[in-house]
Structure 1
Amino acid sequence: MGFSMNKKITKLIKQHEKDIVQLTQELVQTSSVTGEEEMIIKKLKEKFKDFGFDEIIIDSMGNLIGRIGSGKKILAIDGHVDTVEIGDHNLWNFDPLGGKIHNKKIWGRGSCDQKGGLASALYAIKLLEEIGVPENLTVYMVASIQEETFEGMNWQYILEEDKIKPQAVILTEPSNLRISLGHRGRMDIKIQTEGVSSHGANPNEGINAIYKMYPILAEIEEMHEQLPEDPVFGKATIAVTDIKSTSVSLNAIAYSCTIHLDRRLGINDTKESVLKELKELPSVLEAEAQVFLPDYEVKTYCNHSSKVKGYYPAWKMDENELFVKIATKAFEETFNEKSDFIHWKFSTNGVATKGYHNIPTIGFGPGDERFAHTYEEHIPIDHLLKATQFYIFCLLLFAEEYEG
């Protein structure tokens, strides 16, 4: 990239340090629990206007999309705006919506997951405009919604309905300033047994659906121990996370019982293979139980409705892929050291961009994922600045070197 460009970028970021910090604070101070993102989307739309984006839209689902440039090399940067709930205010050391600076860190809900990454990416685009957007480059900045509950649903819509087709995607989720090359997938699965209702005083006259579920629970616990080890992501897992029964009253035998399973997927697990292994369990066959993916009806803040199946495929990038090599060069320009790689423990919008649509995708963001969703959520200010620098280098190198 050259010493003079590196020096120029470093100087620009230093000049805008207070602005990057202030934007992160403003975003933390704007509550945006999943399903309630309207206020932060409106705030960011005004920021997009101030930063001179060539095109700005809020799509029918409610995602905010800004574009700069009109070149043939198309890169998208994603940052989701929604957060989990604040929880118990008394367990926070700082106001969760305060965005307070303490020990050179910004504290509050969403600071790490992942408003800091969004602020850094937005300023990277602004500073790229000051440097000069390469003529061959198009950049989409996406402030996506509903990621915390139905990751990838947003990008499924962007790719399939908005018809935006990037050649590569950067996810700005927290990675502790390391390049993430993917993560495990996950599935939501239901297993349901049927019984026959009777009065609780006469249990032998009915068939208890809860008792029919018991052998299935035991066999799933055994299955967890036997699931294979993935060489990249580690062990696949399965866990029962909910159980419900249905009866006409508490004094009646349950005629239905349903369990919810959280199944974490390796790279070779498919929807079909996972359902098949459950349907073929002896206890499931004996009980004549139903095994199925639940349907979710999701309504966004702008009353857009979508139907979602609970399947989120695993994805990973190879270190030798061109986009990973570009990201690696950007890392070396930023940190003056060799990059190593991680794979996230959590799930991201990459299930759509790479998992479903096979678009080259990497993750890189400020903040440590260990503090996401916790009462100690925070983001170091120096992470914000380094992430901004990385994104600028990545954009410039993509324009120079990507061949798609």
Structure 2
Amino acid sequence: MKATAINFSAQRKEELISLTQELIRIKSVTGQEKAIIQFLKEKMLEMGFEEVFIDEMGNLIGRIGSGKKILAIDAHVDTVAIGRQRLWKFNPLGGDVSQGKIYGRGACDQKGGLAAALLAVKLLIIQGFPKNLTLYFVASICEEDYEGLSWQFILNNKLFQPKAVLLTEPTDLTIACGQRGRMDIKVEVQGLPSHGSEPDMGINAINLMATIIQELKTLHESLPTDEIFGKSTLAVTAIQSASNSLNTTPHHCSIHIDRRLGKKETEEKALNEILSLPGVHKANAKVFVPKSEVKTYRNFICQIKHYFPCWLMEEQSLLVSVAKNAFEDAFHKQAKLSYWRFSTNGVATKGGYKIPTIGFGPGKERFTHTKMEHVAIDDLVAACNFYFAFIQRFAKAKKNDYR
């Protein structure tokens, strides 16, 4: 049975534009999400959510319904920093409209998707919410710097357990079925300091690391190519050394590696590839995945390991089929499948906890984090239509296993 469609009047369209603008005008850089969370809490209560609460970490969670089919919609509220405002053509916190597009920081990543999904839920409440469905709407924090962290907290603390998750990150109106994984790797070596005038009396830590860096370049070139996600990559993105003075050879050197992973690559595999390098063995280098201590806007402290696994939903899965049917209901044509180049909260929901996860959102990935960040109004309307159809299709699915 097909999903019903939204009667998108001029008034509804203006409501969607206005909500997107309101969200853009609230500054919400990672770690500074309090104002937007409070704004959204009031919005959810106005819309008729049955339960609305802010968890200990600071995520906002709204619930509607109490059926056996449990769906979560995720929209992260934090953004990257504005940067130098003078480089922007439009006010980054203005939500200005020009030629059918709304401009501003977060317009694409991902306040447009947030607004479209919220309005879709509101309209479903007005129409009559499916009785067999429980919907959790998560306005998550800290995603830009620590993707997956919010969902680690939610799932580790058993706040709820969804059967599936819909991410609302930008996909250019395609159905996103996965992403490459990523991990940060630190390599540290210790040398033996000597006076700069007698370098052969010591062991220069930079020289040890230089050998390792050349071996890493060769390793990068040999990494596999995935048929879906493309080539795995390895890049040295930072180097630091320590010495007692500029006239002393360094006794310590460290590098930071950005490693992108295909679906068959694991944390252990990526680390072992580096540990097996001759230069690493000769220098007795330390190789590890760093951890960060994160303090949220609620002064909640948590730790995150910098490993974010690759994840993939098979096209034959029930969740992807539900999404494809919803797309056809909304647009009367076949959907296109895609895979993100950037990272999302799916690293936790699907990558870590194996919960069926897909993504769909307005906006093009290439405009995220740029000084021309924007979202097309027509795409907002389309996304809202999709979310409206998807929630209905999810509730109507004959099975409750969406893998």
Tell me which of 223, 243, 253 is aligned to 1:247.
243
2: CA distance, partners of 1:190 / 1:113: 29
Q: Is the 8 A contact 1:12 1:127 kept in 2?
A: no
Q: 1:177 to 1:13 in 2, by over 3 A?
A: farther
Q: Give the alignment partner of residue 112 of structure 2, picking from 94, 116, 131.
A: 116
Would the alpha carbon gap of residues 262 and 206 (structure 1) be closer, same or farther in structure 2, given more than 3 Å must change? Answer: same
1:45: how far off?
Answer: 0.7
Amino acid at match of 1:403: N
What is residue 27 of structure 1 aligned with on the other side? 23
1:63 is aligned to 2:68 = no
CA distance in 1, matches of 2:138, 2:110: 13
Distance 1:217 1:394 in 2: 48
CA-CA distance at 1:248 after TM superposition = 1.9
Is the Cα–Cα contact under 8 Å of residues 57 and 65 in structure 1 kept in the other structure? yes
Q: Does 1:149 align with 2:139?
A: no
CA distance in structure 1 between the aligned counterparts of 2:11 and 2:162, rounded to whole angstroms: 31
User: Where does residue 400 of structure 2 map in the other structure?
Assistant: 403
Q: What is the DSSP-based 3-state SS (H/G/I as helix, E as strand, rest coil) of the residue aligned with 1:94?
A: coil
* TM-score, L = length of structure 1: 0.97
Q: Which residue of 1 aligns with 2:212?
A: 216
Secondary structure of the residue aligned to 1:46 is helix
How far apart in 2 are the matches of 1:177 and 1:13? 21
Letter in 1 for 2:254: T
Q: Which residue of 2 aligns with 1:182?
A: 178
Q: For residue 342 of structure 1, what is the aligned residue in structure 2?
A: 338
Cα distance in 2 for residues equivalent to 1:181 and 1:264? 17
Q: Which residues of structure 1 form unaligned runs of 5+?
A: none
State the distance in 1 between where 2:71 and 2:42 align.
22
**1:293-338 Cα deviation digits (max 9, x unpaired):** 1111111111111111110000000011001000000111111111
Would the aligned equivalents of 2:163 and 2:400 in 1 still touch at CA under 8 Å?
no
Paired residue secondary structure (1:182): strand
Distance 1:382 1:353, change over 3 A: same
Given the alignment of the two structures, is residue 74 of structure 1 paired with residue 70 of structure 2, yes or no? yes
Query: Distance between the aligned counterparts of 2:31 and 2:245, measured in 1?
Result: 34
2:221 and 2:286 map into 1 onto residues whose CA distance is 23
1:321 alignment partner in structure 2:
317
Rounded Cα–Cα distance in structure 2 between residues aligned with 1:297 and 1:201: 41
Mapped to 2, the partners of 1:90 and 1:132 lie a distance apart of: 47
Matching residue of 1:358: 354
- Unmatched segments (≥5 aa) in structure 2: none
Cα deviation per residue 1:96-147 (whole Å; 9 max; x = unaligned)?
1100000010000000000000000111110000110011001111000000
Aligned length: 400
Which deviations, in whole Å up to 9, do the C-alpha atoms of 1:365-394 show, x marking residues without a partner? 000011000111000001111101100111
- Normalized against structure 2, the TM-score is what? 0.97
- Say which SS state the counterpart of residue 122 (structure 2) adopts: helix
* 1:381 alignment counterpart: 377
CA distance in 2 between counterparts of 1:14 and 1:162 reads: 41
Deviation at 1:292, TM superposition (A): 0.5
**Deviation per CA, 1:328-366, whole angstroms, max 9, x where unpaired?**
001111111111200000000000000001111000000
CA deviation after TM superposition for structure 1 residue 49, in Å = 1.1
Indicate whether 1:302 and 2:298 are aligned: yes
Instruction: Give the equivalent residue in structure 2 for 1:193.
Output: 189
DSSP 3-state at the match of 1:159: helix
The structural deviation recorded for 1:163 is: 2.7
| CA distance in structure 2 between the aligned counterparts of 1:13 and 1:288, rounded to whole angstroms | 67
Take 2:396 and 2:235, find their aligned partners in 1: how far apart are those partners?
Answer: 46
User: What's the counterpart of residue 90 of structure 2?
Assistant: 94
| Bigger shift: residues 394-403 or 172-181 | 394-403
Matched, 1:128 2:124: yes
1:39-90 C-alpha deviation (Å, 9 max, x unpaired): 1111111111111110011001100000011111000000000001101112
SS in 2 for 1:124: helix
Determine the C-alpha separation between the residues in 1 that align with 2:143 and 2:2: 37
Partner Cα separation in structure 2 for residue 148 and residue 162 of structure 1: 23
Distance 1:118 1:199 in 2: 59
Aligned counterparts of 1:213 and 1:300: Cα–Cα separation in 2: 35
Partner of 2:231: 235
What letter matches 1:351 in structure 2? V
How far off is 1:278 after superposition?
A: 0.6
What corresponds to 1:107 in structure 2?
103
Matched to 1:334, the amino acid is A
Deviation string, structure 1 residues 250-277 (Cα, Å, up to 9, x no partner): 2221111000000000001111111111
Find the counterpart in structure 2 of residue 277 from structure 1.
273
CA distance in 2, matches of 1:130, 1:323: 25
Identity %: 54
SS of the residue aligned with 1:264?
Answer: strand
Aligned mates of 1:95, 1:186 — CA distance in 2: 33
Q: Is the CA contact (8 Å cut-off) linking 1:13 and 1:388 kept in structure 2?
A: no
- Equivalent pair of 2:2/2:393 in contact (CA under 8 Å): no
Alpha-carbon deviations, 1:221-270, whole Å to 9, x = none?
11111101001100000000000011122222111100000000000111
Following the alignment from structure 1 to structure 2, what is the Cα–Cα distance between the partners of residues 33 and 13?
33
